[in-house]
Structure 1
Amino acid sequence: MLFSNFEYFIFFALVFLYKWYLGPFLFGNTEKERNYSHIFLLIVSYMFYMSWNYRFGALIFISTVIDYYLAIRITETDSKKQKKTFLYISVFLNLVCILGFFKYYNFFSENINLFLSLFGFKSPFPLLHIVLPVGISFFTFQSLSYTIDVYREIIPCERSFIRFSLFVSFFPQLVAGPIVTAKSFLPQLFEKVEFQDIQFRVAIRYFFLGYFKKVILSDNAAPIVDLIFRSPENYGTTASWIAAILFSIQIYCDFSGYSDMAYGSALLLGYRLPENFRLPFISRSITEFWGLRWHLSLSIWIRDYVYIPLGGSRVSYFRHKFNLWLTMFLSGIWHGANWTFVIWGSVQGFLVVIESLFNEFKKKKFGNRTFPSYRFFFIPHIIVSFFFMAIINTWFRAENIQKEFIMLKNMLVWREAGLRPYMVNTALLVLLTVGLGHILGYKIFEQKKEWKIPAALEFFGYIIFVFVFAALTNDKELPFVYFQF
């Protein structure tokens, strides 16, 4: 069930009607009604998740039971050794038995078998036909973060299995994030939210914006990207650069579009999700891109549960640089079990380390000195960072290393082949739209410009959008890219 299809609109309309009308009508505005609302949302969340494959429901239930039980055991024991043991069990079961098996078993088996075959050994690990559960990387990280926070005594143990299960499986963000932590979501389940408290216009704006990004921009860029990356040997320099740039925009519009629709859906139900994107294409460096603007929920998760526990910057000089690299490397393999993701994460890590070294040199050389002319380099910094990310992201999209090398050769060694006018026209239109969107977003969110739009005009605009969507929608319904993670 995709956010962008009619089936979801019917599904969400029924959930919305129960949440704000049928539930209060049957039980009144009481704590009992809130508890029944949690049960109802839990049931529909499982229905939503199982609409892809009913077997997935058992997996998320097992993951939920594991951390619910282990968090209680951590709370009830006074022994620090036992607390740590229960935490390690949670880490092992989540990252090795669940995420590791479903996502990485075949990758490691294939490479170990290949390595052993070089020395004449038979393949000891059979390759299995494993169906990757939708959103497994998201809900395992959420569930695990809860147990870690209970162990650290940041949050109390949640005794209600219903509330904890709803935290793990809440359908707006279940399959593609943002990654929600228990300390931000569980307290909301105790808040008394009235229908009139909903930021209705804000929620609708987010949902329509996300729908526009996904259906109009991402889905129309995807066929060109898929065509060129599938057979890069048939295309030349211009076409390869178009594919690289379009893919960076496609993945942004696809993923941030989902996040926007998830945010809008949750807000309509009275819940707040964390911000996941913040105008990433105005980043002036790779560090700013990852630390402040792109997939923020993952960056914050890795910072809080990997980087800081490793010592962060409070360790030796070389250990600090290694920690920086490791966080980006882990981000790479989190995205997928393929050597292309390993290289993609490693390259990102090396660039972050290089930027850290450069910033240290600049601070040592010039101190806190400011340069009045710096504002004139603002746009070149953005352009250079964008093109760096476009090149690096080809590793993210490439089907294998061999095809990636062909793409890089096409981009760096001039030759012309396979270019079609519609590729150029689509790329220019999508790039212009996203660029204007970032300029507008910069004015609103960075410079805090307030533009008041009359409600009637806004409503009329949505009607126009509906007709635009109908005219420009790609005939082929495409799933969200991040569902595979």
Structure 2
Amino acid sequence: MLFPTLEFFVFFVFVFLIYWYVIPYFFGKNERALTVTHYFLLIVSYYFYMSWDWRFGGLILLSTVIDFVLAERIHASRNKNTQFILITVSLILNLVFILGFFKYYNFFANSINLFLINFGIKSALPILQIILPVGISFYTFQSLSYTIDVYRGQILPEKSFLRFALFVSFFPQLVAGPIVTAKTFLPQMDTVKNLTDIPFRKAIRFFIMGYIKKVVLSDNISPIVDLVFKNPENFGTAALCLAATLFLAQIYCDFSGYTDMAYSAALLLGYELPENFRMPFSARSITEHWRRWHITLSTWLRDYVYISLGGNRAGVFRHRFNLWFTMFVAGVWHGANWTFVLWGTCQGTLLLIEAVYGSLKEKYFSNFKLLPDKILIPIQIMITNVLVVVVGTCFRAESLTKEWIMLSRMFVYTEGGLRPYMLKTGIPVLICIALGQWLGYLIFEKKKQWDPPVWLEFTLYPIIAVGLALLTPDLDLPFIYFQF
């Protein structure tokens, strides 16, 4: 069930009416009504998730039960060794038996079998027909963060299984984030919601913005990206560079578009999700890029991987390794393919280089400036985006072989493959994204707001709807991050 479809619209209207009108009519606004709304949201969340495959419901329920029970046992125990054993069990069950099996078994089996065949040994591990559950990486990390927070003593265990199950399965952000932690979401479930408190204009704006990003921008350039990355050997330097740039635009519009629509849906139900993107193309370094791109994943990795490894408190060499390894984990988290391993390794290496350079600059030439900021900042932004585009080819390439073909033809000039429709479609999309980043800069950095009259805004909505309908492609394309 995709957000920008009639099916989801009917589903959400049903949820909205029952949630805001039917339940309050029969149960009022009290603790009992709050419990009923939690049960209702849990049921529709499971229905939403199981609409892809009914078997997925059992897996998310298993993950929920494991972490709910283990967190309670961790808190009840006063023995540090016992707590450590229990949190280790949680990590193994979530990362190895659930996420590891469903997402990575065939990848490791293929890799091991290929290694054995190269030495003349018959393949040993069977390849299984495993259906990858939608969003398994997101809700596994989300549920696991709760157990770790309880282990660290940062939060108390949730007494209500109902509330915890809803936290794990809340449908707006269930299948592609943003990754929500228990300490930010569970407190929002404590109070009875009021329809009069819902910022409808804000929610509608976010949904329209998300729809434009996903359907109008991302889906229209998707065929170009798919065509070029499928057979990079058929295209020259210009076409490959354009496709690499368009892929970055595609995945940004696709993923941030989902986030915007998820934020809107949650807001209409009285819940606020965390920010996941903030003008990533205005970043002046790779480090800053990761503070603006997929913010909830970056925060999760910082809090539960980087800090757990010792962060910057474990000596210079260990700090550098922790930084690199955290991004390596990010690469593995994204997908079961050597291209993702390479992508994470490259990202970690770039962060490592920036960290070393930053330390040297601060120590030896902290006051040195080669160029004034008005010239230096645009150069830094351009270099950062070029690096992100180049490394991003690893993320999209189907194999290491095709990645090598892509890079070699990008950096050794070759001709061919660039077609007029690629430019006619791709360039306007890139211009729209640049304008969006500029507007975001004015709104978030310069704090310039334009709040049109209510009558004008709602008068424009039908016009916007007609325009979006004309620009919407015929096919419904799934969100890219559903595969993660």
Give the TM-score taking structure 2 as reference length: 0.98
Q: Deviations along 1:129-162, whole A, 9 cap, x unmatched?
A: 1110000000000111001111111111111111
Letter in 1 for 2:483: Q
Counterpart CA distance in 2 for 1:191 and 1:167 is 15
Q: Distance in 2 between matches of 1:367 and 1:472?
A: 50
Displacement, 1:462? Answer: 2.0
In the other structure, the counterpart of 2:326 is 327
| 2:381 equivalent in structure 1 | 382
Cα–Cα, structure 1 residues 164 and 401, in superposed 2: closer, same or farther, change >3 Å?
Answer: same
Unaligned runs of 5+ in 2: none
**Which shows bigger deviation, 401-410 or 98-107?**
401-410
Larger deviation: 41-50 or 187-196?
187-196
Number of residue pairs matched?
Answer: 484
Structure 2: distance between partners of 1:398 and 1:369: 40
Q: Does 1:309 align with 2:308?
A: yes
Q: Distance in 1 between matches of 2:108 and 2:450?
A: 53
Residue 415 of structure 1: how far off its partner (Å): 1.6
Q: In structure 2, what is the equivalent of residue 296 of structure 1?
A: 295
State how 1:335-354 maps to structure 2 within 5 Å.
335-354=334-353
- Note the 1:70-469 alignment, pairs <5 A: 70-290=70-290, 292-367=291-366, 373-469=372-468
Cα distance per residue 1:235-255 (max 9 Å; x no partner): 111111110000000000000
Q: Percent of aligned pairs with the same residue?
A: 59
Q: Secondary structure at the match of 1:128?
A: coil
Paired with 2:365 and 2:455, the residues of 1 have a C-alpha distance of 54
Say whether the 8 Å CA contact 2:67–2:147 is kept in structure 1: yes
CA–CA separation in structure 2 for the residues paired with 1:410 and 1:476 = 31
* Distance of 1:140 and 1:234 partners within structure 2: 40
TM-score normalised to structure 1 length: 0.98
Counterpart Cα distance in 2 of 1:118 and 1:250: 38
Name the CA distance, whole Å, in 1 between partners of 2:100 and 2:454: 49
How much does 1:69 deviate?
A: 0.8
Give the deviation of 1:371 after TM superposition: 7.8
1:3 aligns with 2:10: no
State the match for 1:482 in structure 2: 481
Kindly provide the amino acid, as one letter, of the partner of residue 329 in structure 1: F
Shift of 1:368: 5.2
CA displacement at 1:116 relative to structure 2: 2.1
Distance apart, 1:425 and its partner CA: 1.3
Cα distance in 1 for partners of 2:314, 2:28 equals 56
Q: Give every structure 1 segment of 4 or more consecutive aligned residues whose post-TM-superposition deviation is greater than 3 Å.
A: 368-372
Q: Is the 8 A contact 2:29 2:192 kept in 1?
A: no
Look up the equivalent residue of 2:317 and give its one-letter code: F
* Further displaced range: 254-263 or 104-113: 104-113
CA distance in 1, matches of 2:371, 2:270: 46
Measured after TM superposition, the shift of residue 372 of structure 1 is: 8.0
C-alpha distance in 1 between matches for 2:424 and 2:120: 53
Structure 1 residue 196: Cα displacement:
0.9
With 388-397 and 463-472 compared, the bigger mean Cα shift is at 463-472
Q: For 2:259, give the aligned amino acid.
A: S
Larger displacement relative to structure 2 (467-476 or 366-375): 366-375
Q: Per the alignment, do residues 405 and 371 of structure 1 end up closer, same or farther by CA in structure 2, a change over 3 Å counting? A: closer
Amino acid in the other structure paired with 1:68: F
Equivalent position SS for 2:372: helix
* Counterpart Cα distance in 2 of 1:300 and 1:52: 29
The residue aligned with 1:16 is 16
Alpha-carbon distance, 1:80 to partner:
1.5
- State the Cα distance separating 1:446 from its structure 2 match: 1.1
The 2-side partners of 1:372 and 1:445 are apart by 26
Distance 2:127 2:136 in 1: 20
For residues 423 and 92 of structure 1, the distance between their equivalents in structure 2, rounded to whole angstroms, comes to 46
Deviation readout 1:150-176 (Å, 9 max, x if unpaired): 111111111111100000000000000
Please give the alpha-carbon distance, in whole angstroms, between the structure 1 residues aligned to 2:382 and 2:23.
52
> Which has the larger displacement, 92-101 or 357-366?
357-366
Structure 2 distance, partners of 1:184, 1:371, is 43
List alignment gaps of at least 5 residues for structure 1.
none
CA RMSD of aligned residues (A): 1.1
- Between 76-85 and 139-148, the greater mean CA deviation after superposition: 76-85
For residues 313 and 270 of structure 2, what CA distance do their matches in structure 1 show? 40
Separation in 2 of the partners of 1:141 and 1:27?
Answer: 35
The amino acid that maps onto 1:389 is V
**Amino acid paired to 2:190:** F
Give me the whole-angstrom Cα distance separating, in 2, the residues matched to 1:178 and 1:368. 39
Instruction: Look up the equivalent residue of 2:340 and give its one-letter code.
Output: F
- Structure 1 position 66, deviation (Å): 0.4
Q: Distance in 1 between matches of 2:225 and 2:276?
A: 24
Match of 2:36 in 1: 36
1:194 shift after superposition: 1.0
Q: Residues 34 and 191 of structure 2 are in contact (CA less than 8 Å); yes or no, is this contact kept in structure 1?
A: no
Alpha-carbon distance in 2 for matches of 1:405, 1:247: 17
